[in-house]
Amino acid sequence: ARAVRMITIPQMVGFLNGLGGAASAIAAWMTLQGTVALNTFEVATGALALCVGALTFTGSMVAAGKLQRLLPQKPIRLPSHQMLTVASFLAMLLGLVLVVVLPGQRLLFAAITLLGSLAFGVLFALPVGGADMPITISLLNSTSGVAAAIAGMAIGDVLLVSVGGIVGASGLLLTQIMCHAMNRKLSAILLGKGTDKPAPVPPVQPVMETPAPVVEAELPPPKDAAQWINDAQDVVIIPGYGMALSQAQHAVKQLYDQLTGAGKRVRFAIHPVAGRMPGHMNVLLAEVDIPYDMLFEMDDINPTMDKVDLAIVIGANDVVNPAANTAEGTPIYGMPVLEVEKAGRVMMLNYDDKPGYAGVPNPLYQERPNVLLLFGDAKESLEKLLT
């Protein structure tokens, strides 16, 4: 863990979730195939721990593989994907029941449960894409705790039950909070609904029918980004995955110090699914000692965005994409976003004008008088601004 760079923390979290699930599944398998006589409760909890642990393992490995770009990050659907998912779930459920009902064939049905669970974990995680990935990581963290708690019941370890229960409950609570913040149903994410179209289906031109905020004629937008910063008194900084990718958090801290030193009001707007795991942006900003009371949630920032002089977007795309309100059938449709287009001016420090993780073009990249695009590495762009 000490060798892991901050940028790869989401992958490590997913990987460790998988290892936790695998450990629970192994403990459950060893319990079921042991020579010691087991009562019905021990057999049932052992089979259930095997089931939950195995699907957590494969689901987490797929999620980590997507984050590490070992697998395509876009949603993946196999031929007859839904049928395969249902079949694996039924095999898992049938094996789970028969392990308890037919103890004479315990290992056979335990193997069926194991294979069905492994397959279900893969089929569950493959269609996940876009902004649903942080929710999936949180959910898998919860299932790893649940698997550990059930395994603790099977082997009679009270401490394992307690710790696993805490992890499972906290992970599930975080998952529910994130689903609420994104206006998504957990069942829709589990079934892959809304993520089966990785590319934008409808054109985004209708989004542009809403006129951009008007810039007063006597104060034309300056071409120099530094001048935009100097003119602003109320600034909101929106960090995203691009900040993590370029390791720009230290440059962001320098910008924050420079702005506050000049007497400007500076706030950070944190979208609940910014980055690749829950709390990703909070971790990076805490690393460089950004005051916690300067971090604001989306619901607190959006009502005041029309009074903001300058919104600085650093490596964020999907979470500020106005197309989330209109582009039906895309992964981000219906997801609440930070309404940066309402700010007086918007400065976007992104690598290029390509769509974000969800694959939906951002209308803010089209020419607007109050939007300044600074393409390239976010860290390098910030360093140029600071100098």
Residues 57 and 167 in one domain: yes
Asked if residue 113 belongs to a domain, the reply is: yes
275: left (phi over 0), alpha (psi -120 to 50) or beta: left
State the total domains in the chain: 2
Instruction: Give 180's pLDDT tier (boundaries 50, 70, 90).
Output: confident
pLDDT tops 70 at residue 216: no
Residues 235 and 87 in one domain: no
Residues 377 and 245 in one domain: yes
H runs (alpha helix) in 156-246: 158-182, 186-190, 225-231, 241-245
Asked if residue 200 belongs to a domain, the reply is: no
Residue ending a domain, choose from 166, 190, 214: 190
Q: Which residue has the higher pLDDT, 289 or 223?
A: 289
Residue ending a domain, choose from 156, 190, 224: 190
165 in Cβ contact with 292 (< 8 Å): no
Asked if residue 198 belongs to a domain, the reply is: no
300, two tokens: 């607190």
pTM of the model: 0.72
Asked if residue 88 belongs to a domain, the reply is: yes
| pLDDT tens digits, one per residue of 26-50 | 999 999 887 678 889 999 999 999 9
Residues 210 and 168 in one domain: no
The pLDDT of 255-277, averaged and rounded, is 88
Q: 32-41, 254-263, 310-319: lowest mean pLDDT where?
A: 32-41
Residues 170 and 214 in one domain: no
Give the active site residues: 318
- The boundaries of the domain holding residue 371 are 205-386
Q: What is the pLDDT of residue 186?
A: 75
Q: Where in the chain does DSSP place strands (E)?
A: 234-239, 265-270, 295-297, 310-314, 345-349, 371-373
| pLDDT tens digits, one per residue of 133-166 | 778 888 999 999 999 999 999 999 999 999 999 9
Phi, psi for residue 361 in degrees, rounded to 5: -55, 145
Q: What is the pLDDT of residue 164?
A: 94
pLDDT tops 70 at residue 298: yes
Which CATH number covers residue 287?
Answer: 3.40.50.1220
Residues 216 and 117 in one domain: no
